[in-house]
Amino acid sequence: MARAATTSDAFNAIAEPQRREILVLLRDGERPVTELAQDLGMTQPQASKHLRVLREVGLVRVRGVGKQRLYGLDARGLRPLHEWLGGFERFWGESFDRLDEYLQELKQARRESA
């Protein structure tokens, strides 16, 4: 089965590690592409390409300030990812609860046998 085009799906867009790193950097606020490129150790055109993909899937917004374009995180685009991951959060929470119950049973059994 063919994958959806990277620019049409947030899941595919964040499959690229450098795009995830861009999102991490933008959590702290808006940044120009030159700063992002420098922090990521890539050229400005490479960073711009990644930002374009993130913008097209709604994860990043851009606004002009004078001659500069500032990129910022658009958290609304993260909603589908958050909702999908929510099921795994419940899974891990329940798994840790079961593990905690098991450990408590082991401690109790150890106390009773001592």
pLDDT tens digit sequence for 30-58? 999 999 999 999 999 999 999 999 999 99
The number of domains in the chain is 2
Is residue 63 a part of any domain in this protein? yes
Q: What is the average pLDDT across 8-12?
A: 84
Do 61 and 90 lie in one domain? The reply is: no
- Give the Cα separation of 95 and 93 in Å (integer): 5
Do 34 and 66 lie in one domain? The reply is: yes
Please tell me the predicted confidence (pLDDT) of residue 2: 44
Chain centroid to CA 35: 20
Give percent above pLDDT 70 in the chain.
93
Q: What is the average pLDDT across 59-85?
A: 91
Please tell me the predicted confidence (pLDDT) of residue 28: 93
Is residue 68 a part of any domain in this protein? yes
pTM higher than the cut 0.75: no
Q: What is the mean pLDDT of the chain?
A: 88
Q: What is the average pLDDT across 26-32?
A: 95
Please tell me the predicted confidence (pLDDT) of residue 3: 46
Identify any residues that bridge with 64 across adjacent strands, giving them in sequence order: 69
Do 11 and 67 lie in one domain? The reply is: yes
Residue 40, domain extent: 6-73
